[in-house]
Structure 1
Amino acid sequence: MTRLACAAGLAMAAALLAPVAASAQIRVEALGLTLGATPALASDYLFRGLSQTRNRPAAQLTLEALHDSGLYLGAFASNVSFAGSDARQELDLLAGYRFTALDIAWDLGGVLYSYPGYTRPAGGYRFDYAEAVLKASRSFDAVTLLGSVAVSPDYFGQSGLGVYLEGGLDVALPLGLTASGRLGHQWIEREPRFGTPDYATWSASLSRALAAGVTLAIGYYGTDIARGRCAGGQKICDDRVMLVLSRNF
């Protein structure tokens, strides 16, 4: 069975199991908080163009608590699979501040990436790392321009300074569709430790909100990493089509 067919089966099952009535975010007026959860099923887990599941499906969950002041806390969880590693889960903790200035929406925060259950082998490298992230977006009618930069003093696998820069846009289309495009570049100080050279990544996707708060997205993702320079010749850097089904609560 192909990855896309497998994901389509998961998507259909999730849609059938979803409650008929849409669920909204939870509002806690006394604390000025908005609580949200977004479970998702995907045909792959791509992070900056690289498969984190070795081309297998992923089940994911994003949680967030947003205060009226713009401060927020969040978490993201997913299954992962790295060659030669016993890491099976990823758990990220997020915190930051959202605000608007100069007609631009800003998001200044940090992310701690962790891999519970991972056993670091003798002579191996640590997987956990942290990043500072700045995001910005501005909307012009049906078009939203986006940009972000992420900096880690010691990136995944103790690969030294890591810097990621990304730009893109979302375009609202008829029939409730949204077209999205992204172009990014990852710089890595110690390339041999990470397993790839510095690289560019891109994507083009189409999404649509369905009934009961469900969103279906399909996209094409790629990098400029040659097969022979991708983590020992693995197929985790190849171009691919990915399908994602998510639901906002």
Structure 2
Amino acid sequence: MEFANLTIEIALFLFTIAVVAGFLDTLAGGGGLLTLPALMMSGIPPLAALATNKLQSSMGVATASVMMLRARRVRWYQVKHLMLASFIGSTVGTIIIQFIDTAMLSVIIPVVITAIGIYFLITPTIDEKNNSAKISSSTYQRFIVPIIGCYDGIFGPATGSFFTLAGRALRGQKFLEATAIAKTLNFSSNIASLVVFIFAGHIIWFAGMIMMVGQFIGAWLGSHCLFKIPVTYLRYLVVVMCFAMLVKYMLQPVS
């Protein structure tokens, strides 16, 4: 899909936001809260913005998943069935979003991002307390993972945080274990959604590729700043920037 209004200024804006998002996402998560509003602010239609956001975010989730598997933070046999469940859920969610009126998406997406931003702000970053599993592994695989995957297919921001929270609260996973598993499940749901969007023809490739480069640079910078910057402050920064861009988007004249 082409986008005629993608000027040099817009391309530079999207690249910059992707760098910032990649940096903050590596350290505190929540990069999608910045990139999706940025795409919509650039005048990209809501459905195309969701699709292009999936393309640019694939760089980060793919890199994180490979790193987790290679470092043996998580083993393939632990996640292969969960990844399939996430993939299926995301595929269903992405198909659903194709049939929602784009005029409704212009209202729904800012509302959802605002709600996720508030959740992201008030949710604790690290909970060291060990919990006991509240549901069985089969129930988690058959219902919880596909539901979160479906959310990723429909919208996407903070999916990784939801997978981490579910692993901690429902399966009693330790924080690092939950985080590592969440990366692989987020990768699976992201790829499923991306494939559907590619076949549907909604991706704005040039914008997405520019942002992928920005994501890589931001993630590389963030990896060199791990544990040097308080995560709480970074989460506040993510939310403030997210809300600022949403306000700007809501106030800008409709073209």
Q: Which bin holds the TM-score, normalised by the shorter protein? A: under 0.3
TM-score for both structures, normalised by structure 2: 0.24
Higher helix residue share: 2
TM-score for both structures, normalised by structure 1: 0.24
